[in-house]
Amino acid sequence: MGSKRVGLARTQALIQSLKRELNLSATTLKGNKEVFKAKTADYTVLEQDGGGVIQVNPAGTTLIQLPGAASVGAGWSIDVIITEDDGGTMDQKVNIGTLTGEFFSGIIIGGDAGGSVIANGTSNDFVTISTSAKSGERFTFVSDGTRMHCTGWAYDVSHTLFADAAG
């Protein structure tokens, strides 16, 4: 009985076609990086962006369009960070939108002792960040397969909130 040599390309194809979970308990992953994209204008988030970070430093009013919760499936997530090069107040508006007909659930917590704002789940399909918002605000979006859940950290929830239309 001899051994059959399998080439690298064939081995890679076999591994990539696996459709099962890998149990990585007690495993250390080194050198892995999240997908990171820097945007200055409108961007439609792709399914393959999931698990990563999008940093938005808007050059004008900007829309970050999330994919449909059903199309990316339960457990898909993305982080969005709003930034300004000078680290201060935002110079431009940013809107983060769900797919038409989907609505946010979740909470944005204000760091200025202003409390929080909660998505109503029935009409809020945007997170709007005004020009009074501060650089460094961060949002995590997670799909449950039906809608996007948002947890956000903002300086002031009167400037960053859930809305029924883009700002």
Nearest to 129 by CA among 161, 100, 101, 98: 161
Side chain identity, residue 87: G
What band does 167 get if pLDDT is binned at 50, 70 and 90? confident
| Residue 46 pLDDT > 90 | yes
pTM for this model (two decimals): 0.82
CA distance 161 to 134: 13
So what's the pLDDT on residue 3?
Answer: 67
Model confidence over 13-43: pLDDT tens digits?
A: 888 787 777 777 777 777 777 889 999 999 9
Model confidence over 76-86: pLDDT tens digits?
A: 999 999 999 88
